[in-house]
Amino acid sequence: MNKKIIHTQDAPQAIGTYSQAVKVDNTVYLSGQIPLNPKTMDVVSEDIRNQITQVFHNLKAVALAAGGDLTDIVKLNVYLTDLSNFPIVNEVMGEFISEPYPARAAIGVAALPKGVGVEIDAVMHLRNELYPA
């Protein structure tokens, strides 16, 4: 097993005992991203669309640091404090990821760190000569 910790200044720094992502062979496990501005570490907005957009920017930064991009994501888990915001997740996700879409789950939760409305984590598979697309 080849294990590597992924870290980038272009995404928020971990606010706990975890890594932004961990790469094991060709699989990358991206930790949950919340809508923090990576430079200030502040929540970007109270507006849920802005929050979801920032989360996808953060996921993209970590994916790029791991050697992939959002099209390499095979599984997303979306955590929302209000599931009525799920259509907005679909709209914003469509701006960042096109078909074929990854597998996905949407989970309603009571609360998230820093009082935000959304958190998303992902699993990404990187292509290479052993594992072509």
What share of the chain in percent tops pLDDT 70?
96
Pick left, alpha or beta for residue 38 (phi over 0 → left; psi -120 to 50 → alpha; otherwise beta): alpha
Tell me what the mean pLDDT of segment 28-55 comes to.
98
pLDDT at 1: 84
Q: Which two tokens stand for residue 12?
A: 């928020």
User: pTM for this structure?
Assistant: 0.94
- pLDDT in the model for residue 28: 98
Contact 55, 33 (CB under 8 A): yes
Contacts for 117 with CB less than 8 Å, ≥ 6 apart: 48, 51, 80, 81, 82, 85
Domain boundaries, the chain: 1-123
Question: Residue 49: phi, psi to the nearest 5?
Answer: -60, -45
**How do residues 42-93 score in pLDDT, each as one tens digit?**
999 999 999 999 999 999 999 999 999 999 999 999 999 999 999 999 999 9
CATH superfamily of 1-123: RutC-like (3.30.1330.40)
- CA 106 vs CA 36, 76, 85: distances in Å: 20, 9, 11
Backbone dihedral region for residue 115 (phi beyond 0: left; psi -120 to 50: alpha; all else: beta): left
